[in-house]
Structure 1
Amino acid sequence: MHDARMTDASGRRLSLPRVLAFSTLSIPLAGVGLPVGVYLAPLYANEVGLGLELTGLLFMLLRLWDLVTDPVMGFLVDRYRSPLGRVRHWILISVPILGLATFFIYLPPRDGVTPGYFIIWMLLFYVGFTLLQTSRSAWVPAIARDYDDRSRLFLWAEIVSVLAMLGLLAVPAILAAMQLHVDRFAQVATMGCLLLIFLPLSAFLSTVFVPDPPMKGEANGAAKFDLKSMLAALRNKLLGRVLLVEVLAGTAIAVTAANYLFVAEHVFKMTDAGASMILMLFFLCAAMAMPLWLKLAAKTEKHIAFCAAALTAAISYIYYYIAGQVGTGMFWLLPGAILNGAAFSAPLVLTRSMIADIVEEQTSRTGENRSGIYYSMLTSAYKFGASLALGVGYFILGQVAGFHPGKENSPEAIHGLLLVFCLLPGILYVLAAIAASSYTLTREVQKSLANSMDPRGPELMD
């Protein structure tokens, strides 16, 4: 199933229906993203009873283990093709792995959950997630036409992701509106059931309706997997810059996600339904703002749009801190959520689009498509940041700030919670903007690279 006739050889972009079919993969990925931090981490820390510090430690160790497994999966995606193409078979393989783990993680027993249970199923959960995410991202360099078309593909993927997260996070509010007084276990179980429905459906739509061609300029598959090839990739200054930016932005996002429910409940005195309503508006703003950030990137450069989005997010934490000192309720929390939501998706979309440009730059020099490994490194960078947020963040929250969910907390502990929630992400976003400001792979550079490449194989630049 080669699909050469469906590719970009004519210079035409993928039609919107095909782009949307590709973007459906964002639905199951969305369920492994922010909801894990917003609902799963607090569920296992509080209701399941593992405790704040232990939950944070386990999340951190599991994510650090992914730093070993992710590059291996990236190599597998690059190296092993099938009659279905470069990535379709990997998408299909990820479905039963992620589906099985989703069932046990999102629908845990109410009694008897041990750290061992959590570790086993979360390991499998992250394996399935990484395989699906790496395959999906590695698809883009081959099916996108140019510098801005890569942003277009990731834009639609992120819009679908945001809408999926919007739907998942609306579950508590919808259940409350139906006057179904369910606890956190039932809320998370409902999310898990929705993911189990959409996971095979999205895999079917994407693998049937999206082409899976070789990348322009690609001479062969990935070379033998070894440490030298990984170190060589890390020596790519462009890749290193984007990985640093991803760690900083990913940590900021994960700190926000892991502590949002605690801040909404203890600082702003919101109910679960009210907090979910704010999250719905947060993601609605994220979906509405994404085309504006991409338009800014199209008129300037991707790294300039990234800096603008990161600084906007940083400003939102200044508001959160001030509002948390002077008032409670939806009225005080909502403006910060709108501002933070508007900036939320842009950094993630833009870094993934920048990696696609770097993949093309590397392919133009070597004829070797390393998109799987490059995207697995990006995934690892994000996970590393998220592990720091949950491990170190929860440790600071419990041991330094003295905050513990489910217990009576002093005003000082609640103020410590607000400080962790605002200060860490705000500083990280500013540092991410500074790091991104010196990125050098611009639109003009990318055009010259594209012109140097021939569909039949690599043409090295002078």
Structure 2
Amino acid sequence: MLGLPFSVYLPPYIAEGGAISVALVGLLFSLTTIWDGVVDPLIGTMVDRVRTGPGAHRRWMLLALLPLSLLLLALVTVGNQLPFAALFLMMVLFYSSYSLYEVAQLSWGSALVRTPADSALLYGMRDWFAKIALILAFAAPAAAQLLIPGLSLQGRIMAYASLFLLLVPIALFAIRRVPLRTVMAESGFGWRHEIRASLSFRPLMLLLGVQFLNSFAFGSLTSLFVFFAAAVLDLDRQSAVLLFASFIGGALASPLWTFLARRFGKPPMMMAMGLLIGGLLIATLAQQPRGLGQAVGFSLMLGTGFVGLLFIYSMLADLIPRDSERCGRNRSAFLFALLNLMAKFGVAAAIAVSYAALDLVGFDPRNGQAAARELHLIFALQPTAAWMAMIGLLIWMHRELGRIPVRL
């Protein structure tokens, strides 16, 4: 809930307050994104090395929830009135708390599973609930605006934040219901050896590449979707509806993908996902959706393929025991943090490349129709190329795993 919707609503909300200039708003989010990328591996290392006794992962999550909730409340009430330095500090603390909660939860999952089928089920259901959370997060501001005509942007973002705060007690209840597991802290072996151990484990490096390419493809679609809806589909006013429909498609498809991953394996099903979305995007070049009904159907089908993390997180959970054998210690939180870092790099690269490509073809958002065909080509071909490269890495990864003997 605090991922994509927050990045959609927060920048215009801060800019609208007028306390800092629009240029500084851009700088603020660039700096916090860089910080978020740097802090993830550090948090992963901390969770791995400073966790002892029963329920260690749970304690990290509980420790992160209170500052996360308080900082969110402060951001949506006075964030648009704060000076740059205070806002930057607040956002650094907010994203650090968010990363701590997420990394601890992801590595907790790897400690709970025992088989590849278990990991597919656990991370598949996590992906399903994430899709439902996104639907609720985008629906809350829309519902508030519908019920209260003329509601300000701050009112809409407060409706979204209030939904998160209402669900915190549910998270607390769920965290405490999972049985305790004893976790022993393990001393590190130095950053140089940490990096060397990662680089020498080829399946891990290939999986990080898969994460980067999947995130690049997804970031390409999301960064261009509004322009595509306006210039190609001629549905500028319905772009939010189409984006919402894609999340509905993801929520509907996640359980099915989970079942297929457990039945046929994760790499083959992730390849199928890439082929499905790539084929759908290429098909629009021959026959693009016409009218709102077809566009909604296209968005629903596109959303059914937005389940890459379902496979990637569970594949990493399957790799962690092999990595532990090689290193002599468990590095699950650090590895999940690396995976998150690659996702952020992928999205950032996608935005940079997408906007550079738009500028190269002379696309003007104020007159998108003039370069609609070029935009359509970028929208369809750029993510498809990334997913095809991802399939190549998955095939390579599958072969590498086949060469590693499994210890019974």
TM-score (norm 2): 0.85
Q: CA deviation at 1:373?
A: 0.6
**Cα pair 2:144 2:159 within 8 Å, conserved:** no
Aligned length: 407
Q: 1:277 aligns with which of 241, 248, 251?
A: 241
**Aligned in 2, Cα 1:259/1:43: closer, same or farther, shift over 3 Å?**
farther
1:364 corresponds in structure 2 to: 325
2:172 corresponds in structure 1 to: 204
**Cα pair 1:102 1:125 within 8 Å, conserved:** yes
- The DSSP-based 3-state class of the residue aligned with 1:343 is coil
1:102 corresponds in structure 2 to: 72
The reply to whether residue 291 of structure 1 matches residue 251 of structure 2 is: no
Q: 2:222 aligns with which of 231, 251, 257?
A: 257
- The DSSP-based 3-state class of the residue aligned with 1:308 is helix
Q: 1:412 aligns with which of 364, 370, 377?
A: 370
1:234 corresponds in structure 2 to: 199
**Any idea what the Cα deviations from partners look like across 1:3-23, whole Å, max 9, x if unmatched?**
xxxxxxxxxxxxxxxxxxxxx
Amino acid at match of 1:80: V
**Which range moved further: 389-398 or 335-344?**
389-398
Distance 2:229 2:193 in 1: 47
**Any idea what the Cα deviations from partners look like across 1:68-112, whole Å, max 9, x if unmatched?**
2111100111111245532111101211332244335555655x6
5+ long unaligned stretches in structure 1: 1-30, 452-462
Matches within 5 A, 1:34-433: 34-40=4-10, 59-106=29-76, 119-175=88-144, 177-178=146-147, 180-198=149-167, 200-214=168-182, 221-270=186-235, 274-319=238-283, 327=290, 329-345=291-307, 347-394=308-355, 396-397=357-358, 401-404=362-365, 408-412=366-370, 417-433=375-391
Q: CA deviation at 1:59?
A: 4.3
**Any idea what the Cα deviations from partners look like across 1:32-84, whole Å, max 9, x if unmatched?**
32324544456668997966x87666545533333321111001111112455
**Any idea what the Cα deviations from partners look like across 1:404-437, whole Å, max 9, x if unmatched?**
5xxx335235555545443332222222122112
- The DSSP-based 3-state class of the residue aligned with 2:398 is coil
Distance 2:346 2:113 in 1: 28
5+ long unaligned stretches in structure 2: none
Amino acid at match of 1:426: T
* RMSD of aligned Cα (Å): 3.4
**Cα pair 2:52 2:182 within 8 Å, conserved:** no
**Cα pair 2:65 2:97 within 8 Å, conserved:** yes
Amino acid at match of 2:3: G
**Cα pair 2:14 2:79 within 8 Å, conserved:** no
Q: CA deviation at 1:308?
A: 0.6
1:10 corresponds in structure 2 to: none
**Cα pair 1:60 1:388 within 8 Å, conserved:** no
Amino acid at match of 2:176: V
Amino acid at match of 1:438: W
**Cα pair 1:321 1:422 within 8 Å, conserved:** yes
Distance 1:240 1:107 in 2: 42
Amino acid at match of 1:145: R
**Which range moved further: 60-69 or 158-167?**
60-69
**Aligned in 2, Cα 1:197/1:391: closer, same or farther, shift over 3 Å?**
farther
Q: CA deviation at 1:333?
A: 1.9
**Cα pair 2:125 2:254 within 8 Å, conserved:** no
**Which range moved further: 363-372 or 348-357?**
363-372
Distance 1:242 1:253 in 2: 16
Q: CA deviation at 1:169?
A: 1.5
**Which range moved further: 143-152 or 286-295?**
286-295
**Cα pair 1:359 1:371 within 8 Å, conserved:** yes
Q: CA deviation at 1:135?
A: 0.3
**Cα pair 2:109 2:122 within 8 Å, conserved:** yes
2:398 corresponds in structure 1 to: 440
Relative to its length, the structure with more helix (as a share) is 2
**Aligned in 2, Cα 1:157/1:441: closer, same or farther, shift over 3 Å?**
farther
**Any idea what the Cα deviations from partners look like across 1:292-334, whole Å, max 9, x if unmatched?**
222322232211111111121222323455666x74x422422
**Aligned in 2, Cα 1:67/1:397: closer, same or farther, shift over 3 Å?**
same
Amino acid at match of 1:364: E
**Cα pair 2:60 2:101 within 8 Å, conserved:** yes
**Cα pair 2:132 2:251 within 8 Å, conserved:** yes
TM-score (norm 1): 0.76
- The DSSP-based 3-state class of the residue aligned with 1:314 is helix
**Cα pair 1:147 1:443 within 8 Å, conserved:** no
**Aligned in 2, Cα 1:181/1:133: closer, same or farther, shift over 3 Å?**
same
**Cα pair 2:211 2:312 within 8 Å, conserved:** yes
- The DSSP-based 3-state class of the residue aligned with 1:409 is helix
Distance 1:304 1:339 in 2: 19
Distance 1:107 1:322 in 2: 48
